[in-house]
Amino acid sequence: MIKAIEKFIDKMPSLPATVSRVMEICDDPATSPADLNKVVGLDPVLMGKVMQLINSAYYGRPNKITSLVRAIILLGLNTVKNLALSTAVLGNLSSDHANDILNMDGFWEHSLCTGVIAKKIAAATRIDPKLHEEYFIAGLLHDIGKIPYTNCFPQEYLTAISKSDLNNTPLHKVETELFGFDHQEIGALITKHWKIEGAIRNAVEFHHRSNEYEGENKSLVYAVAVADYLSLYLERGFAGNRHPVEPESFVYDALGISFDQLEAMSDEIKKEIDKARVFLKISQ
Ligand SMILES: [Fe+2]
Ligand SMILES: [Fe+2]
């Protein structure tokens, strides 16, 4: 079964050259907004999206920005990088079968909500603001591994979703039972295919098993695990799993935040989700 999924992932287009270049130069600490301006300027679609984002309600700026380099300075290199990345990923992830099996609106709503909460956790736990957008993207992408199932095994995946529902079992456990692998493993294969590394790949690969993660990106991996749980708790969107497992207390302790503190932020989070929808819309 994994062969069919691997074949499907191999056939996914690789990320466009500009996007790979943007990711590469943003990871170089010596990069300036002017360098990024040169690369983004070569790609009219991406350039349009950068301008759209800085002038969107998400940033709520009083005056219209018309210069690309100014937009890059205001957004920051990381945000531009993440916009490029999410644009490429979302553009690549349209699934023909997905709508019958997983409702894609519900799926992206869950993903968006997880991204917003992960970013909120980063802010509340005093993570360097430069990294906040990476938390958002990791949350946005954490469940991408579910998409290939809906393409390769639509009927079987529908069975997995209803089995999870009826038996009160988390979806990723049922996936392993029925397929021998879960969406974390598939997500890891997708990120590998797209050469997405580091914290984002770690979150995709470990969001249901914090206790197995030993790498250097614990804060982000844990934040996504908590955000995933909270977005299901707040009933925002639906990605096939009605029985989330609450992260263990060591996860909250390591982050330095409690569930109650986060729950108290529900109203703020809901407002943020509405704002972040713009980001998703621009990316698609
Ligand atoms: Fe998941
Ligand atoms: Fe999830």
User: What's the pLDDT at 94?
Assistant: 65
Model confidence at 282, pLDDT cuts 50, 70, 90, reads confident
Q: Is the pLDDT of residue 242 over 90?
A: no
Instruction: Considering every ligand atom shown, identify the ligand nearest to the alpha carbon of residue 171 and give its number.
Output: 1
Alpha-carbon gap, residue 233 to 10, rounded angstroms? 35
Model confidence at 272, pLDDT cuts 50, 70, 90, reads confident
- Domain spanning 2-12+95-283, CATH architecture: Orthogonal Bundle (1.10)
Segment 4-31 shows an average pLDDT of 89
What is the Å distance from ligand 2's center to 170 Cα? 11
User: What's the pLDDT at 278?
Assistant: 83
Segment 105-112 shows an average pLDDT of 91
Q: Is the pLDDT of residue 99 over 70?
A: no
pLDDT in tens, 212-226: 999 999 999 999 999
Residues in the 5 Å CB sphere of ion ligand 1? 143
What is the Å distance from ligand 1's center to 78 Cα? 25
What is the Å distance from ligand 1's center to 189 Cα? 14
User: What's the pLDDT at 136?
Assistant: 93
User: What's the pLDDT at 97?
Assistant: 62
User: What's the pLDDT at 93?
Assistant: 75
User: What's the pLDDT at 103?
Assistant: 86
Give the residue, 14 or 175, on which the prediction is more confident.
175
Model confidence at 98, pLDDT cuts 50, 70, 90, reads low
Q: Give me the residue spans of the domains in the chain.
A: 2-12+95-283
Amino acid letter for position 133: E
Instruction: Considering every ligand atom shown, identify the ligand nearest to the alpha carbon of residue 149 and give its number.
Output: 1
Segment 161-185 shows an average pLDDT of 96
Average pLDDT of every residue of the chain? 92
Model confidence at 55, pLDDT cuts 50, 70, 90, reads very high
Instruction: Considering every ligand atom shown, identify the ligand nearest to the alpha carbon of residue 232 and give its number.
Output: 2
User: What's the pLDDT at 79?
Assistant: 87
